[in-house]
Amino acid sequence: MRKLEKSAVALVLAGAGLAGTAGIAGAATGQLDKDVSAAACSTAWGSSTKSAADSESKPLKNITASQNTCFDRMVFDINGVKGKLGYHVGYVKTFHQDGSGEKIPVKGGAILQIHVSAPSYNPATGKDTYAGQPGKSLPGVKITGYRTFRDTKFGASLEGQTQVGLGIRAKLPFRVLQSRDKLIVDVAHTK
C-alpha cells in the first residue's frame, strides 16, 4: 500500500510540473497559432485592377459588409441575376463621382473604387431599388471596428452602373467573386 501512495504522489508532482510546462508551452503555442493563422491568411490575390464584362444587368437591391478571419467583405446583392455580373474594381488616388466628376472624400490609407453593372434603380420604372445618396456613407453598412475597411461612400448610379468608394486601411490585396446574384469584394487584412 505504501508503494502505491508513493506512486500516486509522484504522479501528482509530475502532473504539476507538466502543468507548469504546459503553461509555458501554451504561451509559445499562442504565438505559433498566430503565425500559422497569418500563414493560412496569405493571399495571392494582388492589388491590381480586376474587371469582367457583364452578360446581364439587373437592379442593385442591397450592399452589406462583414468580417472574416482573413479579410473584410463587401457584398452587392443584385435582383434576379442568372448570368455573369460586370464589374470594374481598382485602387484610385481620389474618388470622383461618375457624371459630375465631383471629388468625394473617402477616409483611409487607400481607396478602392468599385463599379458594378447594376443600377440602383429599376430602368423600366425609374424607381430607386437601393437608397444610396451621392457622397454619403452606404445606408445600413456599419464598419466600425473592422480591421481593413475604414469608410464607405456612394458615388453614383449612372448608365446601368453603380459606383462605390471603399476606404481601406492601406493598399491591400483584394479579390472579386460572384455567387449567384451577389458580387463579393474581399479585401485582405494583410499583404
Query: What was the pLDDT predicted at 54?
Result: 72
Q: Are residues 10 and 77 in the same domain?
A: no
Q: Indicate whether 30 belongs to any domain.
A: yes
CA distance 147 to 130: 26
142 and 60 within one domain:
yes
pLDDT, residue 39, reads 53
Q: Are residues 23 and 93 in the same domain?
A: no
Q: Which domain holds residue 12?
A: 1-40
In this predicted model, which residue has the larger pLDDT, 43 or 145? 145
pLDDT at 179 over 70: yes
Residue 45 lies in a domain: no
Q: Which residue has the cell 451577389?
A: 182
Lookup result for grid cell 487607400? 110
Taken in order 35, 66, 123, 135, is the CA torsion positive or negative? negative
pLDDT(22) > 50 = no
In whole angstroms, give the CA distance from residue 64 to residue 139: 9
Q: How many domains does the chain have?
A: 2
Spatial CA neighbour of 141 closest among 114, 173, 171, 176: 114
Instruction: Give 129's pLDDT tier (boundaries 50, 70, 90).
Output: very high
My answer on whether 114 and 29 are in the same domain is: no
CA dihedral 181, 187, 188, 191 (to 10 degrees): 140
From the CB of residue 162, how many other CB atoms can be counted at a distance below 10 Å? 26
pTM of the full structure:
0.78
Residue 145 lies in a domain: yes
Q: Do 176 and 123 fall into the same domain?
A: yes
- CA-only gyration radius of the chain, Å: 25
> Are residue 92 and residue 172 in the same domain, yes or no?
yes
pLDDT of residue 128: 95
| Number of alpha carbons in the 13 Å side-chain half-sphere of residue 186 | 19
Instruction: Please report, as a single letter, which amino acid is at residue 173.
Output: P
Q: Could you tell me if residue 102 is inside a domain?
A: yes
d(CA 45, CA 191): 9
Task: Name the percent of the chain lying above pLDDT 70.
Answer: 78
Q: Are 9 and 73 in a shared domain?
A: no
Examine the domain organization and report whether 121 and 151 are in the same domain: yes
CATH code for position 105: 2.60.40.3500
In this predicted structure, what is the pLDDT of residue 55?
66
Query: 56-110: per-residue pLDDT in tens?
Result: 679 999 999 999 999 999 999 998 888 889 999 999 999 999 999 999 999 999 9
Q: Which of residues 171 and 15 earns the better pLDDT score?
A: 171
Q: Are residues 75 and 29 in the same domain?
A: no
Q: Are 111 and 95 in contact (CB under 8 A)?
A: yes
The answer to whether residue 180 sits within a structural domain is: yes
In a domain, 23, yes or no: yes
Residues 177, 123 within the same domain:
yes
Nearest Cα to 85, choosing from 76, 93, 94?
A: 76
68 and 8: one domain? no
Q: Distance between CA 66 and CA 69 in Å, rounded?
A: 10
Based on the fold, state whether residues 12 and 68 are members of the same structural domain. Answer: no
Q: 3-state DSSP helix/strand/coil percent for the chain, to nearest 5?
A: 20, 35, 45
